[in-house]
Amino acid sequence: MLQTKMMARSKEPVQAKSTLILSMCFAYIVHYLTNSNIFDLFLVVLCVVVFLLSIRVARPLPRYFSIGMFITGVVINVLKGTPIEGTANGILANMPVMSLVILVPLLTIPFKIDGYFDSIHFYMEKYSHRSRKIFGSISLFIFCLGPIFNIGTIRILHETIKDIKLAPVILAKSYLVGFSTVILWSPYFASVALVLYYLDVPILHYIPIGLPLAVFQFVCGNLLFWIWLKQNKLRDEVSRIDSFHEKGNVVLEACHRKKMIQLILLLICLIGLLFLFEFLTKWPMMFLVSSISIAYPVLWSLTTQKWTEIINHFNTFKKFSVPLMNNEIVLFMSAGLFGNALTGTAVSHGIKMFLNRTASISFLLFILMIVGIVLVFTFIGIHQIVVVTALVTQMDAGMIGTRPEVLALLLMMSWSMSAVISPVNPINLLVSGLLEKSGISVGLRWNGVFLLVMLIIGSAFVYLIH
């Protein structure tokens, strides 16, 4: 009895923190719509409270970096003579991105209730004895579902297919090839949202260059896997009986095919609505993503009347998913404050001069330098949020001699590669944890050739369009 009471009490602070985090996101939406100065103060205070609650339980490395950036940002604002206004603006600088990262998982609730993941499991099991098909299927599902489900796509898909017992190397290659393409173009992903937000690039201007490179990267990843299969002389397993040709499973496959078509159409509609609303309203893309993340589950509930199921899934999301976002919250908030404070300082001027001078010598050298900076710093444990924010806040496309869309694509390419190669990146950590392999094996050993090819192709693509 006493143990039960103690467990209940321990859950109360977690639930309270989750409520505050979600309230912060909803307050951001209201704040944007009302544009009230009084509401500014309320939102800043709420953000600081959430930051303090999250910093206590964040991992050591993000915690120390965030504390350092937060304190440095405040000190710089004091020296600039804007201790209150500058700090408040800095705290809210990355609020749109934080809201997006926290709220986007709500989109997965209707998909889970409607049983789309059962259909995914069906096709994964069907192709499990064909290495090329299973690799293509996994990477394609991540390419399609990743824009909506974010990093949760890998965890959900792994839970769905773990009973199929696929080789870890095949899973590592397919997971990271598929997800690295999502980072390049998805408007629902934090990387794209953050960079487009700072460079003030509409998503409709970025997609025509971001999506083609993502598709090309996806195709190259599959081709490289086929070459790897031949070099390692791995043959598809065809000895087991293929039960999918039985009469009963032909009917079952028709049902699952219908489900998959519905899933694809829903994903297209959600992304299409985002583009349409941005075009009609001219509202920021991140605000629209956060709003759609709330609106879609609510509208789905109204049309299906499945209130009980969606409330249960929401409570699960609030209880287990939201409290785990401590690292993202502290990094986004402190990086926003630090980057905002750095603007206009002598350090900022020096960084700009260095970037401009490098680009004037050779734009190809500039591309390789940006990629190198991001890869090196993220490999030693500094999150992309920190590195990219520090770079993008100091970039001026006109002075560098290119377009903002090109700079955005360059940073996305760097972010995508670093997510695969860095053994301390959340994506690499997730995949290595699920497969029980080292981050070095998952990133460098099994995907090193893919990253090298992408560096060559990506750099050439950015150079040609600049």
pLDDT band of residue 249 (cuts 50, 70, 90) is low
- Which is more confidently placed, 374 or 2? 374
| Mean pLDDT, the chain, whole residue set | 85
The token pair at 191 is 């990387």
- Which is more confidently placed, 241 or 420? 420
pLDDT value at 462 more than 80? yes
pLDDT band of residue 166 (cuts 50, 70, 90) is confident
Q: Which residues have a Cβ under 8 Å from the Cβ of 24 and sit 6 or more positions away? A: 43, 46, 47, 50, 95, 98, 99
Dist. CA 26–CA 119, nearest whole Å: 33
Dist. CA 4–CA 456, nearest whole Å: 58
The token pair at 452 is 């090298």
Of 337, 386, 336, the C-alpha closest to 76 is 337
CA atoms within 13 A on the CB side of 106: 26
Please give the model's pTM, rounded to 2 decimal places: 0.83
Segment 95-122 mean pLDDT? 84
Segment 430-436 mean pLDDT? 85
* Residue 402 per-residue DSSP state: S
- pLDDT tens by residue, 196-232: 988 989 888 999 999 999 999 999 999 999 999 888 7
pLDDT band of residue 242 (cuts 50, 70, 90) is very low
Q: Which residues have a Cβ under 8 Å from the Cβ of 464 and sit 6 or more positions away? A: none
pLDDT at position 174: 93
* Whether 74 contacts 337, CB under 8 Å: yes
Residue ranges of alpha helices (H) inside 35-114 are 37-55, 60-80, 85-93, 95-103, 108-113
pLDDT at position 153: 80
Indicate the domain borders of the chain: 106-465
Cα 135 vs. chain centroid, distance in angstroms? 22
Q: Which residues have a Cβ under 8 Å from the Cβ of 210 and sit 6 or more positions away? A: 184, 185, 192, 408, 409, 412
pLDDT value at 246 more than 60? no
In three-state secondary structure terms, 296 is: helix
pLDDT band of residue 374 (cuts 50, 70, 90) is very high
Percent of the residues in the chain that have a pLDDT greater than 70, as a whole number = 93
* Whether 336 contacts 94, CB under 8 Å: yes
Q: Which amino acid is at 245?
A: H
pLDDT at position 49: 95
Dist. CA 450–CA 224, nearest whole Å: 7
pLDDT at position 428: 86
Sign of CA pseudo-dihedral 290, 295, 298, 301: negative
- pLDDT tens by residue, 382-399: 888 888 888 998 888 988
Segment 413-432 mean pLDDT? 86
- Which is more confidently placed, 238 or 295? 295
Of 441, 426, 450, the C-alpha closest to 152 is 426
Of 179, 181, 176, the C-alpha closest to 213 is 181
pLDDT band of residue 243 (cuts 50, 70, 90) is very low
In three-state secondary structure terms, 438 is: coil
CA dist list (Å): 394 to 98, 203, 399: 21, 21, 11
CA dist list (Å): 52 to 95, 145, 333, 455: 15, 33, 11, 39
pLDDT value at 424 more than 80? no
CA atoms within 13 A on the CB side of 287: 14
CA atoms within 13 A on the CB side of 41: 3
pLDDT band of residue 234 (cuts 50, 70, 90) is low
Q: What is the CA radius of gyration of the chain?
A: 23
pLDDT value at 115 more than 60? yes
Segment 364-388 mean pLDDT? 89
pLDDT value at 9 more than 50? no
Dist. CA 120–CA 122, nearest whole Å: 5
Segment 323-342 mean pLDDT? 87
Return the HEC string of 322-351. Answer: HHHCHHHHHHHHHHHHHHHHHCCCHHHHHH
- pLDDT tens by residue, 19-75: 999 999 999 998 888 877 778 889 999 999 999 999 988 888 888 888 999 999 999
pLDDT band of residue 11 (cuts 50, 70, 90) is low
Dist. CA 1–CA 44, nearest whole Å: 41
